Each structure stands twice: as structure tokens, then as C-alpha cells.
Structure 1
């Protein structure tokens, strides 16, 4: 009986106990998904591109979900990270709009299988879109990510600064997410620290800050009690820039609002910007 119990225990542990193929391509191919009302798309794209020194593809109208829908779609590329912008003309089918990022992978089916093996659930099974194939997975803690593949292999220049996926989680699910995603991404934990609560807008106390890296890019897992003042927790991405003050000025000049003024966070200086249409981004200089 003891031997049988041991075998059963090993079998249950197996999904997270073995290495799967690294399906990542590179952080320059990963995007934050931004859903904006159609009336705000042009102003948002112009402001974001101006703030970070980027450019947008031509806007097109397409169905990017497995069921009937219609949205404008365009890619905005900057030296510090890219975004996929959607302005839906129809109601957004569930669960789209709840995914935070799109990660380019070498093979969607292998990527979904690898994610499943490490504890993610398939929220949207692989489907064809106008330029490739997509799927959506959900990780422990309810972190939704899109995995995608292009029929025609893209070739984008490397980023000057790799953005940071900012993931807010409660203590009860943080470790499960970190373990699962790091295994899937063939990544590593760069830092696991107790940080001042002021970094997430709290007046006192501390929170846990875990920084991850992989070929998918960077991530910061912010483990809090959830008692956060706006806009903390609404930003999905932190953008590293060389000159924070100049970036904030370009944001203001292009119609965005600085909703958290520049301040020190350890070796960093950081701020928060809200762009036309509502998208909130953290912006910071180098440092941990």
C-alpha cells in the first residue's frame, strides 16, 4: 500500500515535475492587449506612440475571436514594448478583454500543451485568426494570457528596454502562479523581496515583490492584500525608459495624464500615466 501511495503521489506531481519545450520567441514579439472604445482608438494610438517613440500599423477591421465579432486592430511598436489595440464594433465575446498579454510562440498546440502540463487551464482552445492561430490560457490566480502564432514569421528588431508584465496577486495564489509560469517559460526568479507598501500606493506596511525573467520578457508579481488605491492594480505593464521626465512630458503633450507623479522606488524612479481611452501604464527608469 505504501508503494502504491508513493506511485500515485508521483503521478499527481508529474505535470510540474518535467521540463517541456521552450516555445518562446522573444520579448519584441509580445504585446499588451489594450481594448479601447472605437471613438478613442486614434487618440490613444497617437498618444502612446508619441510618448514612447513608436509607430503603428495601419488600422484594419477583422474578426480576431473564434466566434462572430468585429473590431479594429492595429499593432503599435515602440523601442520599449508593443501593444495590440482593439476597438470592438460589436460586444466583446467572453473571455476576450480579460487577457492581459499576447505571447508569440513557436507552435500554439505545443504551447498550450506545455502550459497545461505546468498548471494552466485552456480558457479558449486554439483557433484560426486572419494571420495565424491563437489560444487563451489561464494560470493559477486567474492570470489570463493569449498565446499566438503567425502564418508568416515576423521579424522585429530587438527592444531597447524590455517591458515588465505587472501581475497583482493575493498571497494564496502567488506561489502557485510563480512556480507554474516559471516552469512553462523556462524562466527564473530574479528577486523575491519585501518592499514598502508605498510602491503600490499604500500609506504604510509592506508587500511582496517578485521579479521574473525569461525569453518571454520580464514580469513583476506584486503580492498584496488587495487594499489598493486607484490606479494601482489597473496597470498591466511597466515600461522602462531612459529619461522619465522627458517621457512624462511627451505624454502630457500628447493628451495623456500623469496620474502618479514621479517618485523613488528603491533604485528606480517611477510614475503612472493614463492615456486617452483609459489605458494606464507604469513607467520607470532602470534599477531594481
Structure 2
């Protein structure tokens, strides 16, 4: 797959090391904890009940009461609810009106402890602000974009929430090109005060649907949770690149059996790589996720 020159590889490595070392100086710590960070899922109104039943039935957990609200700075209407499971949280939206741009393209929502400081930090570390600060019924929001085109919603609540820690922390899965990966990492590490926990330039291609080949996989951890960067040339078979989150479970076999009984499609059959047994699933409404167990 990608064959970077030695000079380019060294430059990328130096940028990552520099970002890791300098993150404490480049931005304040504004993350709270992984259990306050959610995957944003948009489904059609008619798919809400089936999605909630399948998602909670597969992973366990509960849902907050469904409300109808305006969660964008321009007029709109959506049902909204929070699905909280031991392995990850979903902010579920079912818009009754057309979805205003650029909402629907953000992958995750990150709770921050100081909203204004978070926006300033995002700008200072190289992120763009696609949607500037706006109020919602319970706090403030903005949408930022990291280098490489990865959209994230930042939010802050008037009343600080209190959620139980995850049993297993999910991973945000980000696909990037070799052109932007260094810039993304430099920005995200500085913003999140995160660290690179592994960087494999020859990860097994079966993880992106290209068995027999290799690609570069970088795993990052921070107070915002886990993030996996998959650097590819974009030649991805379906559904790779469509999934937003990877969920760790105790038993992949048991989880897939529950999921299948609830109408969830198994769209990539289980495979083993990098100490994991993993599969891809599609929930009612079209939400695609990676699910994996750690081989211990």
C-alpha cells in the first residue's frame, strides 16, 4: 500500500513525538472522561424504536427519555435521546425536518470542562470551527474539524452530568490519508493531551478488508477515550470507512448472537488480527459499527 520515503517517514515520526511532548504546553486540559463522550447517530424517525431495541439489546444499558428539541443554531426539530451502555454511549437523533449543514457529518460529541477554553484550544492547535458557539436546551455547543476533515461536536452543560465509567472504553475510528495524518495527530494530541500507544506501519490489511496487504495503524489514548487512526490510500471495500466506533465486548460470539436475534446484520464476519477478534455489524437504521473482543 503506502510506500513513504525515508525522509517523509522520519518527518511524520518527529511531528508525532513533538506533538506528544509539547501537548501539555500547547493547550489546557479540558477533557472530562471517556464516559461523557458519545457517538452521534442519525436515523430516520421510523427507525428509532428498532435501533434503540437492537443497540441496548446487544450491549445492555438504558436510554434517557426521548425529547423533541432544536439542537442546531438554525430552526430544526429532532427527537433526541442518550443510549448509555457499559461499552459506549450514543447520542441518537431522528430529525423531523431537513438536517441543517454540517450536522449529521460529525462523528462524536466531546464534553469539555471549559467551553471557551476548548474553542480557543481547538483553534490554536490547528482545528477549524465549522459551527461557532451556540446554545442548546441544556448548554452550549460547537462543531470543529480536525485536519483531514474529521468533524467533532464540542459541548458543555449548565449542570455537570454524572455518569458511570465504561466497563470497556470504545474507540473512535478515523480514516486518513498519508498526506494529512501527521497534521491530524499533531492537532489532536495537542488538544487532547493524548499519547500514541502504538504505531504499526505494517498492520494486517484484513482489518480494512484487504487481506494479504498492509497499512499503517496508530492507536491514541487520552481523557477523551481511545482513538484509532487508519491510514489508507482510500481504496476501501464496503463497509470499511463507514464505521464510526469500535466497541470492545467480553465475548464476540455471544454479542453477535444477541445482535443477530435483534435484527442486526453481520456485514463482516469475524476475523483475528493484532490480538483481537473482530467483526462489523449494521444496526436498524443503517448505523455501522466495529465490535471486537481482546484475545487474552
TM over 0.5: yes
State how far apart, in whole Å, the 1-side matches of 2:239 and 2:161 are.
34
Residue 93 of structure 1: how far off its partner (Å): 0.3
**Partner of residue 104 from structure 1, selected from 101, 111, 115:** 111
1:255 is the counterpart of 2:260 = no
Partner of 2:140: 133
Partner of 1:241: 249
1:29 is the counterpart of 2:36 = yes
Structure showing greater relative contact order (alpha-carbon pairs closer than 8 Å, 6 or more residues apart): 2
State how far apart, in whole Å, the 1-side matches of 2:98 and 2:295 are.
41
Native 8 Å contact 2:138 2:158 kept in 1: yes
Native 8 Å contact 1:16 1:180 kept in 2: no
State how far apart, in whole Å, the 1-side matches of 2:263 and 2:139 are.
34
Native 8 Å contact 1:16 1:118 kept in 2: no
Residue 283 of structure 1: how far off its partner (Å): 0.4
Partner of 2:163: 156
Residue 16 of structure 1: how far off its partner (Å): 7.9
Q: Report the aligned-residue RMSD.
A: 1.4
State how far apart, in whole Å, the 2-side matches of 1:284 and 1:203 are.
18
Aligned length, in residue pairs: 274
Question: With structure 2 as the length reference, what TM-score do the two structures score?
Answer: 0.90
Question: With structure 1 as the length reference, what TM-score do the two structures score?
Answer: 0.93
Residue 287 of structure 1: how far off its partner (Å): 5.7
Partner of 1:188: 195
State how far apart, in whole Å, the 2-side matches of 1:245 and 1:203 are.
22
1:128-185 superposed Cα distances (whole Å, 9 cap, x missing partner): 0001100110010000000001111100001000000000011100111011101100
1:50 is the counterpart of 2:53 = no
**Partner of residue 59 from structure 1, selected from 58, 66, 75:** 66
**Partner of residue 46 from structure 2, selected from 17, 26, 39:** 39
**Partner of residue 130 from structure 2, selected from 123, 126, 151:** 123
State how far apart, in whole Å, the 1-side matches of 2:137 and 2:193 are.
29
Partner of 1:218: 226
Partner of 2:8: none
**Partner of residue 81 from structure 1, selected from 83, 88, 99:** 88
State how far apart, in whole Å, the 1-side matches of 2:145 and 2:116 are.
15
**Partner of residue 94 from structure 1, selected from 82, 95, 101:** 101
1:229-286 superposed Cα distances (whole Å, 9 cap, x missing partner): 1111000000001111111011011111111111101210001110000000000112
State how far apart, in whole Å, the 1-side matches of 2:177 and 2:27 are.
27
Native 8 Å contact 2:205 2:211 kept in 1: yes
Q: Which runs of 4+ in 1 moved over 6 A?
A: none
Gapped runs of 5+ residues in structure 2?
Answer: 1-21
1:18-39 superposed Cα distances (whole Å, 9 cap, x missing partner): 4211100000010000000111
Native 8 Å contact 1:238 1:281 kept in 2: yes
